[in-house]
Amino acid sequence: MSDFPAFPPGFEFGAATSAYQIEGATGKDGRGPSIWDTFCLRGGAIRDGSSGDTACDHYRRHREDVALLADLGVSTYRFSVAWPRIQPSGAGPVNPRGLDFYARLVDDLLAAGVTPVLTLYHWDLPQPLEDAGGWRSRDTSERFAQYAALVAARLGDREPRWITLNEPWCSAFLGYGNGEHAPGVSEGTPALAAAHHLLVGHGLAMGALRAAGVREAGIALNLDHVSPATPRADDLAAAVRAETQRNVMWTEPLLEGRYAAAESDTWGELIECQDFRRDGDLALVSAPMDFLGINYYTPSTVRAAPWREPDPARRTAMDNRFEAVPHPGVRHTAMGWPVVPGALRQLLTSLRDRYGARLPPLHITENGSAEHDAPAADGTVHDAERIAYLESHLRAVAEARAEGVDLRGYTVWSLLDNFEWAYGYSRRFGLVHVDFPTGTRTPKASYHWYKAAIAASQAP
Ligand code: FCB
């Protein structure tokens, strides 16, 4: 650990999961169906044909997982609340058995000395809300704020840090743009309406959380570091469009209270019809946040491309006249994602340069890698690639801090191997190996490495 970067006392090391990816027990204690339950039943949607029905069985085994966190020595644990457990139909009174589960979890974490970080929405929309239009409909934003108020009324006194949405880019563009995620549709303007309604839902939920007196609230965005493939003008313009879709259409409304400047160039005719935007929305969306969470895994290099679909009436919201180019010569994870830790440092410093004092304190709310882990004969998992990934990204975080970026915590995705969305159980991100047939947890070498790294970095 001698060359491990130093972090000051108070810097928070954490680990993360999300409800649908780990809990299982999808039919228990009154939980209603979510869009992921429905999507998993669709043939071909999930690579291994699986679902989150059992996942890591965390709903039943959560005490074991809290013990793993305590032993790891993390100061924070980021988890999400399943909206369909709290309001099985997405509206109406609270289902007390659902809320009890999270109250127990929060109490157990606090008792173990681990600060809970609660995400309200990590993609598991109640199915009845999707049936009524989902995020394409502004009503979902209003429902989301009501749900936030219900959770805050019960947990607001002891839950210190709240995240409204996880990665709204994925909800809007993978859910409604290319259909790789639930609800699995490919649309144009309705997907842009979904993006807007996610932002409005965030703003309304911030209001509900403030009204309940919560201490800290913000959002978690998956921000990309985008580079042009060449310095040619058309590739530079393509990079601006990519940045607009990935980053700027989220950060400009949230941090500056304005829409992205390059949105017409990025979406053409699709953004001309803006009747989903109302006066006052930007003021709502840009309500001050106590922190900005950033999920980072890999960067993008892009070049100019024509519209994939020339007819705007049939174009999806992810058709933006850019295409990704490969990153030769760097290692790729089991997701096929290039490993470029320096891009994390550049992303952080460029955010600081762009937004200055408008940028709230930052937290890395997810970072990690999927690797081809297999237990050795002695049962241990020697995941040297994951250790190298985490170490290099922590170093990038330390460099950004040394350059003056106000970044206060780093969270590994994930505590446990889990249901990796459209990849099912075929991709493992955990510090802890999960044998899915039995639920047996086995800490990997990376867990022991992270534990030692935390201890070393916090030694006096
Ligand atoms: C992020 C998600 C998280 C997990 C990681 C690998 O986009 O927030 O649930 O799937 O990617």
E strands present in 296-333? 300-304, 322-324
Residue nearest to atom 5 of ligand 1 (CA): 413
Beta bridge partners of 290: none
- The whole-number pLDDT of residue 4 equals 75
Task: Please tell me if the CB atom of residue 170 comes closer than 6 angstroms to any atom of ligand 1.
Answer: yes
d(CA 276, CA 392): 42
Q: Distance from the CA of 442 to the center of ligand 1, in angstroms?
A: 21
The atom number, within ligand 1, closest to the CA of 166 reads 8
Residues whose CB falls within 8 Å of the CB of residue 35, separated by 6 or more in sequence, listed in order: 123, 124, 125, 126, 127, 130, 134, 175, 182, 183
Residue nearest to atom 10 of ligand 1 (CA): 420
- The whole-number pLDDT of residue 5 equals 80
Helix, strand, or coil (residue 269) = helix
Q: What is the mean pLDDT of the chain?
A: 97
Q: Distance from the CA of 293 to the center of ligand 1, in angstroms?
A: 13
Q: Which residues in the chain land under pLDDT 50?
A: none
Q: How many CB atoms lie within 10 A of CB 342?
A: 14
Q: Parallel, antiparallel, or unpaired for β 291-295 and 226-228? A: unpaired
Q: Distance from the CA of 457 to the center of ligand 1, in angstroms?
A: 26
Pocket test for ligand 1, best of 221, 222, 413 (most atoms within 8 A of CB): 413
343-397 tens-digit pLDDT: 999 999 999 999 999 999 999 999 999 999 989 998 899 999 999 999 999 999 9
Pocket test for ligand 1, best of 171, 366, 412 (most atoms within 8 A of CB): 366
- The tokens for 241 are 């469009």
Q: Distance from the CA of 366 to the center of ligand 1, in angstroms?
A: 8
What predicted TM-score, i.e. pTM, was given to this entire model?
Answer: 0.98
- The tokens for 127 are 């199915």
Report in angstroms the alpha-carbon separations of 45 from 49, 175, 429.
7, 12, 20
Peptide bond into 183 cis (omega under 30): yes
Q: How many CB atoms lie within 10 A of CB 406?
A: 13
Pocket test for ligand 1, best of 181, 412, 421, 427 (most atoms within 8 A of CB): 421
* Residues involved in catalysis: 167, 366
Does residue 193 contact residue 247 with C-beta atoms inside 8 Å? no
- The whole-number pLDDT of residue 1 equals 55
Where do the domains of the chain lie, and which CATH numbers do they carry? 12-458 (3.20.20.80)
Q: Distance from the CA of 69 to the center of ligand 1, in angstroms?
A: 19
Residue nearest to atom 9 of ligand 1 (CA): 18
107-137 tens-digit pLDDT: 999 999 999 999 999 999 999 999 999 999 9
Q: How many CB atoms lie within 10 A of CB 215?
A: 12
Q: Distance from the CA of 273 to the center of ligand 1, in angstroms?
A: 31
Pocket test for ligand 1, best of 36, 117, 167 (most atoms within 8 A of CB): 167
Q: Distance from the CA of 256 to the center of ligand 1, in angstroms?
A: 26
Residues whose CB falls within 8 Å of the CB of residue 353, separated by 6 or more in sequence, listed in order: none
Residue nearest to atom 4 of ligand 1 (CA): 420
Between the two ends of the chain, the Cα-to-Cα distance in Å is 14
Task: Please tell me if the CB atom of residue 222 comes closer than 6 angstroms to any atom of ligand 1.
Answer: yes
E strands present in 197-255? 216-222, 226-228
- The whole-number pLDDT of residue 3 equals 67
Task: Please tell me if the CB atom of residue 425 comes closer than 6 angstroms to any atom of ligand 1.
Answer: no
Task: Please tell me if the CB atom of residue 135 comes closer than 6 angstroms to any atom of ligand 1.
Answer: no
Nearest to 186 by CA among 196, 194, 176: 176
- The tokens for 323 are 């295409």
- The tokens for 190 are 């309705």
The atom number, within ligand 1, closest to the CA of 170 reads 7
- The whole-number pLDDT of residue 328 equals 95
Task: Please tell me if the CB atom of residue 370 comes closer than 6 angstroms to any atom of ligand 1.
Answer: no
